[in-house]
Structure 1
Amino acid sequence: MVSSLASAVLLTGYPSFLARRMAEQILAHEPNTQLYCVVRSKFLPWAQQTRLTLPASQRNRMVLLEGDAASMDMGLSGAEYREVIEKVDKILHFAQYRDVRADPQWAHHTNVQGALEALEMAYAAPRLTHLVCMSSIDVLACSGLARESDPPKSPPFRTFIQESLAHAERIYRRAAHRIPVTILRPSTMIGDSNTGEIDRLDGPYPLFMLLVSSGRDTIPLPLRADHLLHFVPVDFVIRSAHIIANSPWSPGKTFHLVDPAPLSARRVFELVARVAERRSSRGDVPSFVARALVRSPGVESFARSPRAFLDDFSPRARFDATNTEAILQGTGVSCPPFESYVEAIVRYVQGRLHEQREGGVHPMHDPLL
């Protein structure tokens, strides 16, 4: 694994969708960077497969390390651990467990113990200039204006996933005086703004799928249709994260990766309905009816957590993104408006539903995001 390249990055969470996109971004835009990826043993064959899809000039700079980001020394052998800490100048900790159906103990292990291990690795690396950690706006209170400097909220939490992510973020913040750590808080991530591609069809996707697959000409709006929906396309998150990770200005700061002009649930519903050639009715549908609609054939099998999403259909919060706007200024990177990529989202959902009806199995159902 010895490399003479100028820079070395350690990435956790591979081959989850988000980590794969981050790996591709790094390898495509940093030709002098060696990329180490920590991969759990059960995902190693898949990781090896995805590595082979990369151009030779990129995959030759990518090293897959069998381990576990939440285990001691990230589960690496002694030789691997020594090489990594001697060479890495950046760590991107993207290993997270966000499936609400998960075992709470496993989610805590991955999210909280993983945070501790990332910090230990960073502290042991003499060349380290930056530790970038993935969090979520879900750790914040859901009312009023939430600023990037705001700490995670206190209990109670709606889910154990939110609780573990908030716990992890508090750990990062306590370590900021001794480690150059940056926290990323994206809103709900949806598909690529160009292709619509995403791994898990959760969050708002059960409603998107309802519109796409329903035989009804008119679909009633969900309850609380005036609430704001906070989501961003995954390509915006990746491009922003890459810029932030390479900026000397970002250590010690938190960045909200959000849509600066979020749409109401009503407007999102109308846009999706238009592309899907459905009409949305003017009246709201009670939440218990909405849940029943989401259980329609062909929809529930894809929906990981429709009830959780509908029960808290949209927080009333707005999210300040002063740090993000400042660091992205002049880069050409900004969050596109939903109107500009809704068609890509709908077409991708239609393709996934067609694949499901044909009995196909989509490969991207991993629990790490």
Structure 2
Amino acid sequence: MTVVLTGATGYLGSHALARLLAAGHEVIALVRGPEHRAHTRLLQALRATGEPLPAQPLAHCTTIRADLDQPRLGLDGKQFKRLADRMDTLWHLAGCTTLTGAPDMLQRTNVEGTRSLLDLAGASRHCRHVVHTGTAFVAGGRLHGTVHERDLDSSWGFLNAYERTKFDAERLVRAWALTHDVPVTVLRPSIVVGDRPTPAAAPRHPHAVIEAKAALLDRLPDLRRTASVRHVRVACRPGAVLNLVPVEFAVDAMVRLALREPGERLQVHHVVHPADTLVTDILDALSAATPRLRLHPVSTLPAKTALETQVHAGLEGYSAYFDLHRRYDRSSFDEAVGAELLRPSPLDPAYLTDTFTSLRRNKQPVAGGAAR
């Protein structure tokens, strides 16, 4: 099978690429920037996953320079049609995931990029499956209750432009599915994390990004001048939860769903952990990862100290989710992959702390850059 894959140099995408290649599939990776640089970035990202790799990891992977921000992916008409006719499956994993990103940038990448990829699938004579990777956070500003896999409701509003654009992208995908005779699978992962040491230049999961910001905070002059621990309050609704999913489980499930024979024309699956994680446990893990800071959840925070202002700035975007009490239904997911056959590891305190210390535990940084 030939899979056209976007996002191969990202955190989740690199794990997916490793699994696809290990299963013997041909992969066409759509990449940004010059293709000779993309080859190096793909190798770096693959080696950082910890997945078993063949001696020549990219022997069955070709790269094509494409730009999600441009009509037809920046390709001319002949290139676009040639690419369309080479693929059996389109798997869209790329996107801008910056929670505080500029709305116009998020719109171009997440919405218009999805539109161009759907045009690619529509132009294909051989495409028999479109897999779109969205997010569980298309639920937007809904704080309570259970979000079902088929739900796509904007009445709650959105906490940021990222959620809004991922909602709009999924709406495009659903509309396309109604007018094309190609099965579509929408995958909605929650917050994907990992506990493996992360090379400095490798793609990062959200907790590794926060870790990098926390490391900067830990080096603030007013903290370095004293050996004492500083206590910082963080606004958090009592009992708030987030859904974190280990990358190994997420990519295993997503690859199974992407490669299985689709049943219905449109399927939507929440790729989430069966047990939510308390925000207080996440803050405890972040405290354990920052020796000079102790984070204390409080229900209200009318006035911040200077240090608290800096910590909140470091958590900007992520802390918007510290009020959530909602749950994600995964009935369709369990039926498709087998709830008893595929279970994620428990997210105990040690695992959570490791997700925030993956960068500093790495002993061998990889040279070069990495991006989604």
TM-score by length of 1: 0.79
Aligned pair partner of 2:5 in 4, 11, 21:
11
Identity of paired residues, percent? 19
Aligned pair partner of 1:269 in 265, 283, 293:
283
Matching residue of 2:39: 48
Matching residue of 2:50: none
* Residues 210 and 49 (structure 1), Cα distance of their counterparts in 2 relative to 1, 3 Å cut: closer
Tell me the CA shift for residue 175 of structure 1: 1.7
Please tell me whether the aligned partners of residues 220 and 285 of structure 1 are also in contact (alpha carbons under 8 angstroms): no
Matching residue of 2:48: none
> Match of 2:358, as an amino acid?
Y
The answer to which of 114-123 and 205-214 deviates more is 205-214
Matching residue of 2:18: 24
Matching residue of 1:144: 145
The ranges of structure 1 where at least 4 consecutive aligned residues each deviate by more than 6 angstroms after the TM superposition are 275-279
Return 5+ residue gaps in structure 1 as ranges: 1-6
Tell me the CA shift for residue 137 of structure 1: 1.6
> Match of 2:308, as an amino acid?
L
**Where do 1:64-143 residues align within 5 Å?**
64-140=63-139, 141-143=142-144
* 1:223 matched to 2:235: yes
Tell me the CA shift for residue 189 of structure 1: 2.1
The answer to which of 101-110 and 220-229 deviates more is 220-229
1: CA distance, partners of 2:2 / 2:228: 54
> Match of 2:115, as an amino acid?
L
Please tell me whether the aligned partners of residues 70 and 115 of structure 1 are also in contact (alpha carbons under 8 angstroms): no
Q: For each residue in 1:256-276, what CA deviation from the matched residue of structure 2 results, as whole angstroms up to 9, or x when unmatched?
A: 111211121123333554577
Q: For each residue in 1:112-150, what CA deviation from the matched residue of structure 2 results, as whole angstroms up to 9, or x when unmatched?
A: 111111211112222222111111122113321100011
Tell me the CA shift for residue 292 of structure 1: 3.5
2: CA distance, partners of 1:253 / 1:184: 8
Q: For each residue in 1:64-99, what CA deviation from the matched residue of structure 2 results, as whole angstroms up to 9, or x when unmatched?
A: 101213433322345543333223111011121122
2: CA distance, partners of 1:137 / 1:362: 33
Matching residue of 1:333: 342
> Match of 1:24, as an amino acid?
A
Aligned pair partner of 1:322 in 311, 331, 337:
331
SS at match of 2:317: helix
* Residues 294 and 363 (structure 1), Cα distance of their counterparts in 2 relative to 1, 3 Å cut: farther
Tell me the CA shift for residue 165 of structure 1: 1.0
2: CA distance, partners of 1:95 / 1:107: 12
Tell me the CA shift for residue 157 of structure 1: 2.2
Matching residue of 1:183: 186
2: CA distance, partners of 1:282 / 1:159: 25
2: CA distance, partners of 1:135 / 1:290: 37
Q: For each residue in 1:322-343, what CA deviation from the matched residue of structure 2 results, as whole angstroms up to 9, or x when unmatched?
A: 1222222178433222116224
2: CA distance, partners of 1:36 / 1:255: 25
